[in-house]
Structure 1
Amino acid sequence: MLSRTLITAAAHASSLHIQPSTSIISLTSPFTRGSLRILQSAIIEHATNYKTPAIPGEVNAAVLVPLCNVDGVPGVLLELRGGKLRSHAGEVSFPGGRVDPADVSFLAAALRETQEEVGLDNGQIDILGQFGPPERSLMGLRVWPYVGFVYPSGSHRTDSGSLDDPLPSISLSSLTISQDEVATIFHLPLSAFTSPARVRPDKFRAASPYWAIDVSDLVEGFDGANDPLGHPVVGGGKEGRLEVWGLTGWYMSLLMKILKVYT
């Protein structure tokens, strides 16, 4: 018998709406110190609505949702996982991975993995907070998501100047990706999350509604079947599309709810 939670989720499968006009920050203007403050406050408020303590003995992972400006456009830095990896090969994902015993915290694990996978130094990342609740991956790991804003290498955070001044943009070509783990990286503009041509309704774990996002045209070298290195894209999405879906899509939809883009 289905649980009450699953029945309720199924009954409200079409209740997730896209309302960009209600967003608490601009989806088209570059991130500013002011918009990051607004987002950080919303993440902190969201975190008060759930309490998920770590369970002793449970295997954990941590990921970073790296917000950034690229050519003055606000968005998210995402990676396409290498096609030869043992798990989640060929899928769009955030940088991150399993928490090691040497990691002093889940956040430390997310930052370590981010540096290993895409070459971002900790000093380039302004952590805005953790959101959730953390969900289990298909591999059984409890995945803890963090949000941070990425500055270009050599750029420094500043608390001076106007809160409305655009923050500096990063150059994707300046990043160093791990060829063993990452096929390529790309920038997904925030405006994509409200584009009728990109969004597709889906259900996380066949129960909770969220929006999957088509990014086929944003990943250079993707030909509809293989990643830029020629490896098959196993977890590409529906009907040959390359999508932000599954746990990554679920977390992005959750973040859009925090932004009040999705209701």
Structure 2
Amino acid sequence: MSSWQWAALAKPRTSSRILSTGSPFNWTTLHAISKSLSEHTRGPAVTHDGTYSESGQAAVLLPLVNINNKPAVLFQVRANLRAHKGEVSFPGGKKDDDDKDLEETVKRETREEIGISSERLHLLSAFGPPEKSIAGTIVFPYAGFLSTSILPTNINDSSPLANTLIEDLDINTAEVAMMFHLTLEELTDERRLTRHNFRGRPPYWCVNVSDKVPEEYWTTPRVLPDEPSLEEGGVDRGRRLEIWGLTGWYLHLFMRTVGLW
């Protein structure tokens, strides 16, 4: 793994050579992000333990959006599913046999989970390296810009791209309990950030998003997926929700690549 991924945590920044947290995304900044991400893409399917895999692949989308004319990242809280229920995640899932490649997987899963068609999604680049999930699937991250409006075709335009309205998303409630966003300004607010380790590696920023979920979310006791249930002696985590684990790690890689963390 390259030194930029292993380096010690840096203080968050409000701007970099690529973008500013106060300026909405446009085609110019998206092109710069895509170029930077593609330069840091690693390997076909390298797992965290150094092995390779040609099967059991999945892909997730780190969705960039403009909301109220501010650049932001869109997140979802998983519904009452078999794995990782109630956790923050990105749209995505396992590659189907009918998917010609992982880009098609990302587009299909994004359409199925939040109703965004390919005309409203512009994939920027894969980045990584991919990681192995708890279930053993190799998960490839992609970044893309999405909107609830059809995206313009003039990719040289430096005008702000259209805003996304979360209320206009067609959310599949069987898989997604709710959606929320964090602006890049919020993601660089140190009051939200806590040091955390990902699988024994140097720390990354774990992001507190407890204020982003409605009151009814807290009616069910919460335990982490690798801990015992409450009936087995587990501890109720209470009113704290964080972006951590694989989602947090991929967010960390993205923010490091664009120079904001």
TM-score range, shorter chain: 0.7 to 0.9
Tell me: CA distance 1:99–1:72, structure 2 relative to 1, closer, same or farther (3 Å): same
Give 3-state SS (helix, strand or coil) of 2:190's partner.
Answer: coil
Give 3-state SS (helix, strand or coil) of 1:113's partner.
Answer: helix
Give CA deviations for 1:187-228 in whole Å, capped at 9, x if unaligned.
1111122112100000001333110101111223455x34xx
Q: Are the equivalent residues in 2 in contact too, given 1:99–1:109 (CA < 8 A)?
A: yes
Q: Distance in 2 between matches of 1:235 and 1:118?
A: 25
Alignment of 1:41 with 2:46, yes or no, is no
The count of aligned residue pairs is 242
Identity, in percent, stands at: 38
Give CA deviations for 1:39-84 in whole Å, capped at 9, x if unaligned.
111112222xx223475553111101110001111111110001x2
AA in 2 matched with 1:90: G
User: Which residues of 2 match residues 81-96 of structure 1 at below 5 A?
Assistant: 81-82=78-79, 84-96=80-92
Q: Are the equivalent residues in 1 in contact too, given 2:223–2:237 (CA < 8 A)?
A: no
Q: Distance in 1 between matches of 2:58 and 2:156?
A: 37
Q: Are the equivalent residues in 1 in contact too, given 2:62–2:90 (CA < 8 A)?
A: yes
Q: Measure how far apart 1:151 and its partner are.
A: 2.2
Alignment equivalent of 1:220, drawn from 183, 197, 214 = 214
Tell me: CA distance 1:161–1:140, structure 2 relative to 1, closer, same or farther (3 Å): closer
Query: Who is 1:244 aligned against?
Result: 243
Alignment equivalent of 1:68, drawn from 65, 70, 78 = 65
Q: Are the equivalent residues in 1 in contact too, given 2:148–2:164 (CA < 8 A)?
A: yes
Tell me: CA distance 1:76–1:222, structure 2 relative to 1, closer, same or farther (3 Å): farther
Q: Are the equivalent residues in 1 in contact too, given 2:14–2:185 (CA < 8 A)?
A: no
Query: Who is 1:20 aligned against?
Result: 13
Give CA deviations for 1:230-253 in whole Å, capped at 9, x if unaligned.
x55444996641111100000000
AA in 2 matched with 1:158: T
Q: Are the equivalent residues in 2 in contact too, given 1:89–1:234 (CA < 8 A)?
A: no
Alignment of 1:256 with 2:252, yes or no, is no
Q: With structure 1 as the length reference, what TM-score do the two structures score?
A: 0.84
Give 3-state SS (helix, strand or coil) of 1:29's partner.
Answer: coil
Ranges in structure 1 where 5+ consecutive residues have no aligned partner: none
Alignment of 1:179 with 2:173, yes or no, is yes
Give 3-state SS (helix, strand or coil) of 1:102's partner.
Answer: coil
Ranges in structure 2 where 5+ consecutive residues have no aligned partner: 47-51, 226-235
Tell me: CA distance 1:52–1:176, structure 2 relative to 1, closer, same or farther (3 Å): same
User: Which residues of 2 match residues 90-109 of structure 1 at below 5 A?
Assistant: 90-109=86-105
Tell me: CA distance 1:72–1:133, structure 2 relative to 1, closer, same or farther (3 Å): same
Q: Distance in 2 between matches of 1:160 and 1:39?
A: 14
The Cα RMSD (Å) is 2.4
Query: Who is 2:135 aligned against?
Result: 139
AA in 2 matched with 1:78: F
Q: Measure how far apart 1:19 and its partner are.
A: 3.7
Q: Are the equivalent residues in 2 in contact too, given 1:90–1:234 (CA < 8 A)?
A: no
Q: Are the equivalent residues in 2 in contact too, given 1:91–1:233 (CA < 8 A)?
A: no
Q: Measure how far apart 1:261 and its partner are.
A: 1.4
